[in-house]
Amino acid sequence: MGIALGDNSYGKTGNHLFKVLRSTDQHEVRDYRVDVELTGDYAAAHIDGANADVMATDTMRNTVYAIAAQHEFDAPERYGMQMVDYLLTQPRVTGATVRVVEQRWARIVVDGRPHEHSFTKAAGGKHTATVAGSASGRSVTSGIVDLDVLKTTNSGWAGFLEGGYRTLRDTDDRILATSITATWTYGASEAGEPDYAKVWDGVHDRIASTFTDHFSPSAQNTIYRMGRAVLEQFAEIDRISFELPNKHHISYDLEPFGLENDKQIFWVTVEPFGLIKATVQRD
């Protein structure tokens, strides 16, 4: 029986890149966590210990900062493509994947005016992007993570399967709380490359507004509504996938203390939690 090397890859994870744009008095910042992964013909390194054509992961880290210094970019997707384009020029590399998570920063408002060079962390989730490239082309996936949303009413959960061990009661008035993760892919477009930053802002706003605009009988139904709303507005997006953990807010029983609880006091569970996933796509 023969033995052979199977699929393999390697890279540098957790590179924290921070860039300040100082072309005007009103500075801008780019705050990225960057993961780099390469695939290629590395059999000699694994089998024979020959490293001649193997880029050190330390060099990958340096590349993260060097590429950022030499290029302008207004979105993680564009920076990811610049990184991938460079990495694919290296010996034995047949595939490069760059994953970026952007921490967004908002200007601090002083006396009603945004400050030129002072910021606070922006609420409303982080911007993610994954760029994968090879000789056959590039693919771009954009996304949102840590979009924490909650509504105190206009949500229910009723009429569900008994399942043999059901204890949960039907309700037509509950707190719906979750932290949305969404990822989407782009289709071919005659208009060329999307304006990634503009699309991300629009998708973010569409998801958030759709979360508010209906009675939610389930997280599943809300996912579908959010996905449909995004695809209806953005023709350049082919499909969008969601993950919604259910952050349970449970009415606390105060009767033992002679106190009433009219949907005011809740305890928030950490684990276990429901996790709902779905993709909405074009036919």
Is 12 one of the annotated active-site residues of the chain?
yes
Any catalytic annotation for residue 198? no
How far apart CA 241 and CA 243 sit, in angstroms, is: 7
Task: Report CA 91 to chain centroid distance, whole Å.
Answer: 31
Helix (H) or strand (E) holding 134: strand 126-134
Q: Which of 27, 71, 151, 248 is catalytic?
A: 248
Q: 256: cis peptide before it, omega within 30°?
A: no
Please state, in angstroms and rounded to a whole number, the distance separating the CA atoms of residues 174 and 104. Answer: 31
Determine whether 71 is an active site residue: no
- CA nearest neighbour of 179 among 207, 204, 150, 202: 150
Is there a contact between 130 and 110 (Cβ–Cβ < 8 Å)? no
Angle between helix 196-212 and 76-87 (nearest 10): 140
The DSSP code for 168 is: P
Query: How many Cα neighbours within 13 Å face the side chain of 61?
Result: 8
Q: For strand 113-121 and strand 176-186, is the pairing parallel, antiparallel, or unpaired?
A: unpaired
Q: Would you state the structure tokens that stand for residue 117, as one six-digit string?
A: 């060079």
Beta bridge partners of 275: 245
Q: Which amino acid is at 126?
A: K
Closest CA to 41 of 91, 105, 114: 91
Catalytic residue among 19, 57, 71, 185: 57
Residues annotated catalytic, as ranges = 12, 57, 248
